Each structure stands twice: as C-alpha cells, then as structure tokens.
Amino acid sequence: MPSILPVDMTTTTRITRFEIDSVDVVLFSSAKIRVNIFAGNYRTEMRNIILSGDDYTLWGNNDAYITSFIASTLGFVVVADPVVVVEPIVDPVVDPVVEPIV
C-alpha cells in the first residue's frame, strides 16, 4: 500500500435542525446541554453545550432562551417554520442505442 503526503479533505453537510436531548443542571452554577444535530432525518453529530456564568443567570425560567443560546453558539438561525428544501429531480442521461445495419 503506497504512502502519500497528508491531504486535508473537507465534507459539507446541510444541517436542517437540532434537538435538545438532555440537560444536566448544577444548581446556581451551570448546565450541560446535550444537542443532537440533524441533516434531514439523520443525526450527524452530538454536541455538549455548556451554559454558565451570565448565560446561566439569563436563562431564568425561559426555556426559549436555551434554544436561542444553542442556535447562537452553533452558528444557526432559528426560523418560525421548518425550511423545506426541494431537490430538483434530474433525469439520467441515456445514450441512444444504435443498432448496426446488417
């Protein structure tokens, strides 16, 4: 098997939503929020987000704050309605069959 020089490869995934899986709270201090990240119906990643300091204090009893905090932390923008992505249907290109003349 030949060796090669290292190459950085990048893969792009279209993330469509996230879900809060669990929240572990340390009273008066912080919360660890487990977040599942999805591309369509497939979970692509799980992250732990730490909420502490002023962010923990601002949470109070407003659970919508958590959603905004996670979206901001991950660089996402929350929208009111789900975004429906319609992929175009592309017909495969078929070469014509040419019969030989006999």
- ∠ CA 59-65-68 to the nearest 5 degrees? 140
User: Across-strand partners of 43?
Assistant: 38
What pLDDT digit, counting tens, does each position of 45-80 carry? 999 999 999 999 999 989 899 999 999 999 999 988
Q: Which residues of 31-57 are buried (b: 16+ CB within 10 A; e: fewer)?
A: bebebebeeeeeeeeeeebebeeebbe
pLDDT band for position 25 (cuts 50, 70, 90) = very high
- Distance of alpha carbon 75 from alpha carbon 21, whole angstroms: 19
CB 1 within 8 A of CB 14: no
pTM over the 0.85 mark: no
